[in-house]
Amino acid sequence: MASAQTHRLSNGGLVDRSAPLNFRFDGKAFSGFQGDTLASALIANGVKLVGRSFKYHRPRGILTSGSEEPNALVELRTGARREPNTKATTAELYDGLEAASQNRWPSLRHDVMSVNQLFAPIFVAGFYYKTFMWPAKFWEAIYEPAIRRAAGLGRAAGVADPDHYDKAWAHCDVLIAGSGPAGLAAALAAGRSGARVILCEEDFTLGGRLLSDGGTIDGLPAAAWLSKTLDELAAMPDVRITTRTTLFGVYDGGTYGAIERVSDHLPSPPEHQVRQRLWRIVAKRCVVAAGAIERPIVFAGNDTPGVMMASAMRTYVARYAATPAKRIALFTNNEDGWRTVETALGAGLQIAAVIDARPEVSPAHRSLASKGGFPVLHGSVSGVDGGKDGVRKIAVSLTGGSRAEVEADGLAVSGGWNPAVGLTSFHRGRPKWSDDISAFVPDGAPPGMVAVGAANGDFGLGACLSQGFAAGATAAHDTGHNDKAGIAPVADDEAFSLAPLWHVAGKGKAFVDYQHDVTASDIELAQREGFESVEHLKRYTTLGMATDQGKTSNVAGLAIMAAVSGRSIPETGTTIYRPPYVPVAIGAFAGHHRDETFHATRLTPSHHWAVEQGAIFVDTGLWKRAQWYPRAGEKDWLESVTREVKAVRSGVGFCDVSTLGKIDVHGPDAGAFLDRVYINTFSSLAVDKARYGLMLREDGIVYDDGTTSRLAEDHYFLTTTTAKAGLVMQHLEFCRQVLFPELDVQLTSVSDQWAQFSIAGPKTRDLLREIVDPAEDLSNEGFPFMGAREVALRGGLKARLFRISFSGEMAFEISVPARFGDAMARNLMLAGAPFGVTPYGTEALGVMRVEKGHIAGPELSGTTTAADLGLGKMMSTKKDYIGRVMAGREALVAPDRQVVVGIKPVDKARRLRSGAHIIPKGQTPGPGNDQGYVTSVCFSPTLDQWIGLALVERGRERIGEIVHAHDPLRGEDYDVELCNPVFYDPDGGRQRG
Partner 1 sequence: MRIVCPFCGERELGEFTYLGDAKPVRPVAGASEDEVFDYVYLRDNVAGATSEYWYHGGGCRAWLKVSRNTLTHEISAVEPAAGAGAAKVGA
Enumerate binding residues for partner 1 (CB under 8 A): 169, 251-255, 280, 282, 447, 698-699, 726, 729-730, 733-734, 736-744, 746, 879-880, 885-886, 888-889
Nearest of 643, 618, 620 to residue 630 by alpha carbon: 643
Within a 10 A sphere around the Cβ of 977, how many other Cβ atoms? 15
Task: Provide the minimum distance between the beta carbon of 743 and partner 1 in the complex, in angstroms, as a whole number.
Answer: 8
In terms of CB distance, is 325 or 747 closer to partner 1? Answer: 747
In terms of CB distance, is 447 or 480 closer to partner 1? Answer: 447
Angle between helix axes 764-771 and 821-832 (nearest 10 degrees) is: 120
In terms of CB distance, is 327 or 427 closer to partner 1? Answer: 427
Task: Provide the minimum distance between the beta carbon of 280 and partner 1 in the complex, in angstroms, as a whole number.
Answer: 8
Q: Which helix (H) or strand (E) holds 187?
A: helix 181-192
Fill in the amino acid letter for 164.
Answer: H
Question: Per residue in 506-515, is it b (16+ CB within 10 Å) or e — as a string?
Answer: beebbbbbbb
3-state DSSP assignment of residue 567: coil
Rounded Cα–Cα distance for residues 970 and 954 (Å): 26
3-state DSSP assignment of residue 748: strand
In terms of CB distance, is 535 or 744 closer to partner 1? Answer: 744
Half-sphere exposure of residue 227, counting CA atoms within 13 Å on the CB side?
A: 4
In terms of CB distance, is 46 or 429 closer to partner 1? Answer: 429
Question: Per residue in 789-822, is it b (16+ CB within 10 Å) or e — as a string?
Answer: bebebeeeeebbbbbbbbbbbbbbbbbbebebbb
Rounded Cα–Cα distance for residues 105 and 102 (Å): 9
Longest CA–CA span in the chain (Å) reads 116
Task: Provide the minimum distance between the beta carbon of 928 and partner 1 in the complex, in angstroms, as a whole number.
Answer: 29
Sort residue 183 into left (φ over 0), alpha (ψ -120 to 50) or beta.
Answer: alpha
Question: Per residue in 549-578, is it b (16+ CB within 10 Å) or e — as a string?
Answer: bbbbbbbbbbbbbbbbbeeebbebbbbebe
In terms of CB distance, is 56 or 256 closer to partner 1? Answer: 256
Whether the ω angle into residue 580 lies within 30 degrees of 0, i.e. cis, is: yes
Rounded Cα–Cα distance for residues 925 and 905 (Å): 18
In terms of CB distance, is 20 or 580 closer to partner 1? Answer: 580
In terms of CB distance, is 407 or 733 closer to partner 1? Answer: 733
Structural contact between residues 557 and 519, judged by C-beta atoms closer than 8 angstroms: no
Task: Provide the minimum distance between the beta carbon of 416 and partner 1 in the complex, in angstroms, as a whole number.
Answer: 33
3-state DSSP assignment of residue 639: helix
760-705-695 Cα angle (round to 5): 155
Rounded Cα–Cα distance for residues 572 and 503 (Å): 16
Structural contact between residues 268 and 82, judged by C-beta atoms closer than 8 angstroms: no
User: 602 pairs with which residues across the strands?
Assistant: 623
3-state DSSP assignment of residue 833: helix
Task: Provide the minimum distance between the beta carbon of 605 and partner 1 in the complex, in angstroms, as a whole number.
Answer: 24
In terms of CB distance, is 656 or 675 closer to partner 1? Answer: 675
In terms of CB distance, is 146 or 168 closer to partner 1? Answer: 168
Give backbone dihedrals phi and psi of 317, rounded to 5 degrees, phi first: -75, -50
In terms of CB distance, is 449 or 947 closer to partner 1? Answer: 449
In terms of CB distance, is 296 or 446 closer to partner 1? Answer: 446
Who's near 148: CB < 8 A, 6+ residues apart? none
In terms of CB distance, is 713 or 744 closer to partner 1? Answer: 744
Task: Provide the minimum distance between the beta carbon of 951 and partner 1 in the complex, in angstroms, as a whole number.
Answer: 24
In terms of CB distance, is 507 or 592 closer to partner 1? Answer: 592
Within a 10 A sphere around the Cβ of 529, how many other Cβ atoms? 13
Task: Provide the minimum distance between the beta carbon of 741 and partner 1 in the complex, in angstroms, as a whole number.
Answer: 3
Rounded Cα–Cα distance for residues 34 and 934 (Å): 68
In terms of CB distance, is 635 or 878 closer to partner 1? Answer: 878
Distances in Å between the Cα of 57 and the Cα atoms of 107, 153, 346 are 12, 10, 36
Who's near 123: CB < 8 A, 6+ residues apart? 55, 56, 116, 517
Fill in the amino acid letter for 313.
Answer: M
In terms of CB distance, is 291 or 446 closer to partner 1? Answer: 446
Rounded Cα–Cα distance for residues 85 and 73 (Å): 5
Give backbone dihedrals phi and psi of 516, rounded to 5 degrees, phi first: -105, 10
Task: Provide the minimum distance between the beta carbon of 578 and partner 1 in the complex, in angstroms, as a whole number.
Answer: 15
Task: Provide the minimum distance between the beta carbon of 700 and partner 1 in the complex, in angstroms, as a whole number.
Answer: 9
Rounded Cα–Cα distance for residues 936 and 258 (Å): 48
Sort residue 700 into left (φ over 0), alpha (ψ -120 to 50) or beta.
Answer: left
Q: What is the DSSP letter of 236?
A: -
Task: Provide the minimum distance between the beta carbon of 922 and partner 1 in the complex, in angstroms, as a whole number.
Answer: 40
Q: What is the DSSP letter of 18?
A: E
Task: Provide the minimum distance between the beta carbon of 746 and partner 1 in the complex, in angstroms, as a whole number.
Answer: 7
In terms of CB distance, is 167 or 992 closer to partner 1? Answer: 167
